[in-house]
Structure 1
Amino acid sequence: MSEELSQLRQQFAKILADILDREARAMARSVERFGAEARQAARSLDETNSRAAGEIGDSAEPASVRPMGSSGTPSRSAIGAGDDRLPSEYLDPTLDGVGPVTVGPAQATDGPGIARAHVLASRVAFRDLPGAAEHLDDFLLGNLGPRKIVDWSRLAASGEPGLWVARTADNTVAGFIWVSTRDDGAGVVNAWYVHPNWHGTGVGRGLMQTALDWLGDVDVYTQTTVGTKAIRRYKEHGFGVFGELEDTPLQLKDAKLDAPQVALKRFAGAAGR
């Protein structure tokens, strides 16, 4: 009896093993089939995304690169936007009219106008530096301009809270200032430029006042180029020379421009706001 029971147990175990083996093979086939379907779906999705990206790249141009004027044509501030080298007429400030301005946060489409104010103001600021007569315009059109159109377009589109713009009713950028706050709470003036057409009109003063009010009563740091009028402008707002001179930035040095830098600081509570 015990021998028969043992045989029955062996038979049952074999049957159970066969059942489990068939189930395992079936499950493995299902998993493999599911994997193949998933891989095919992923390939199809990649192909669809690639086609869509190609269509977008072929047909669309970011609004931040070429903002449109009220007539539907590219604004004057966007001349040369996106090109590897800007045309010589880009440096002609008379292409932009002059009018009253209001100061407010940068808009997503302000990038090219900010870049234009940056380039034209730099041309005025750097024109008396050693090497400027031979190399400045080439640097502005072939390096700084194209680079800053991209940089400022990205920053303006990002909604950077410390970027302030002075603009006319037709959205011509008359000047801008970009400030930020360090981890220790101190402020930094990263850039402050005014389009030459608005020099002497108070636009720069209004921008600085707005930025200092936004930063609050804190120490504020910046740096600027030695031999330009910027140092005097900063001093009018309570900044003073702080630290030793620094060498010419590499990109200016590569452009054969001699532009050593000086650090400036405005102490919290300083006059001149």
Structure 2
Amino acid sequence: MISCREAVTDDLRAMAGIFVAAWRAGYRGVVPDEVIDALDADTVAADLAAGLSGPGLTTVLAVDGTGRPAGFVRYGDDADHPGEGYLAALYVHPAASGAGVGRGLLQHAIDAMPGVDVRLWVFEDNDRARTLYERAGFRPEGVRLVDPRWRAPQVRYLRPAPR
């Protein structure tokens, strides 16, 4: 049984562990191996902390029946498109993969942003994530970028507000 709650500062180490484990298990062949191998939980936790207290964003942690963190999602206002939503992050620990945690977190974020268009960035070669987003109604917008930190192409997706 998975439940969701808003993340707090004490969750940052667990969230960083989820992030690093998800990247190491799922991003080989998507981003360069040296980027993945260089990931450090302390640095990731510090990066995640900045968004935890940032305005306009909410971070929700999924926990299993024993209280162990299984994944997290970060969503909120789209700084580039005022009045619209943004899915900033969605990660599931590999041990919880395939159990519906990602779908549940994605649906939680969508439900928390009703009546607005929602955008996200996804790695171009991350077929598993792209399938998840497309099943939830997201479609590529035709915008692409390469973030110098990750050195891999990303595409922007849009889920139009229900009309």
How would you bin the TM-score normalised by the shorter chain?
Answer: 0.7 to 0.9
Q: Would you say 1:223 and 2:121 are equivalent positions? A: yes
State which of 126, 129, 135 in structure 1 corresponds to 2:30. 129
Q: How does 1:144-223 map to 2 (within 5 A)?
A: 145-156=41-52, 162-182=58-78, 184-223=82-121
State which of 121, 131, 134 in structure 2 corresponds to 1:235. 134
- Alpha-carbon distance in 2 for matches of 1:102, 1:168: 6
- Alpha-carbon distance in 1 for matches of 2:21, 2:91: 9
Where in structure 2 are there 5+ consecutive unaligned residues? none
Q: Deviations over 1:149-207 (max 9, x none)?
A: 11224544679762111013544220010001136311000001111111110111111
Contact (CA 8 Å) 2:8, 2:52: kept in 1 or not?
A: yes
- Alpha-carbon distance in 2 for matches of 1:130, 1:103: 29
- Alpha-carbon distance in 2 for matches of 1:146, 1:156: 15
What CA RMSD, in Å, does the superposition of the two structures yield over aligned residues?
Answer: 2.3
Q: Would you say 1:116 and 2:116 are equivalent positions? A: no
Q: Partner of 2:144: helix, strand, or coil?
A: coil
Q: Which amino acid aligns with 2:153?
A: P
Contact (CA 8 Å) 2:27, 2:36: kept in 1 or not?
A: no
Q: Which amino acid aligns with 1:112?
A: R
Q: Which amino acid aligns with 1:115?
A: A
Count the aligned residue pairs: 160
- Flag the 1:237–1:148 CA change in 2: closer, same or farther, 3 A: same
Contact (CA 8 Å) 1:112, 1:153: kept in 2 or not?
A: no
- Alpha-carbon distance in 1 for matches of 2:138, 2:132: 9
Corresponding residue of 1:15: none
Q: Partner of 2:83: helix, strand, or coil?
A: coil
- Alpha-carbon distance in 2 for matches of 1:130, 1:114: 20
Q: Which amino acid aligns with 2:48?
A: W
Query: TM-score, normalization: structure 1?
Result: 0.53
Which has more strand, going by share of residues?
Answer: 2
- Flag the 1:268–1:172 CA change in 2: closer, same or farther, 3 A: same
Contact (CA 8 Å) 1:105, 1:161: kept in 2 or not?
A: no
1:108 Cα deviation after fit: 2.8
Structure with higher Rg: it is 1
Corresponding residue of 1:268: 161
- Alpha-carbon distance in 2 for matches of 1:159, 1:223: 20
Percent of aligned pairs with the same residue? 28
State which of 32, 39, 56 in structure 2 corresponds to 1:140. 39
Contact (CA 8 Å) 2:9, 2:49: kept in 1 or not?
A: yes
Q: Deviations over 1:61-102 (max 9, x none)?
A: xxxxxxxxxxxxxxxxxxxxxxxxxxxxxxxxxxxxxxx321
Which has more helix, going by share of residues?
Answer: 1
Q: Which has the higher contact order (CA 8 A, sep 6+)?
A: 2
Contact (CA 8 Å) 2:139, 2:159: kept in 1 or not?
A: yes
Q: Which amino acid aligns with 1:265?
A: L
Q: Which amino acid aligns with 1:264?
A: Y
Q: Partner of 1:164: helix, strand, or coil?
A: strand
Where in structure 1 are there 5+ consecutive unaligned residues? 1-99, 254-258
Q: Which amino acid aligns with 1:163?
A: T
1:120 Cα deviation after fit: 1.1
- Alpha-carbon distance in 1 for matches of 2:58, 2:150: 26
1:124 Cα deviation after fit: 2.4
- Alpha-carbon distance in 2 for matches of 1:181, 1:168: 28
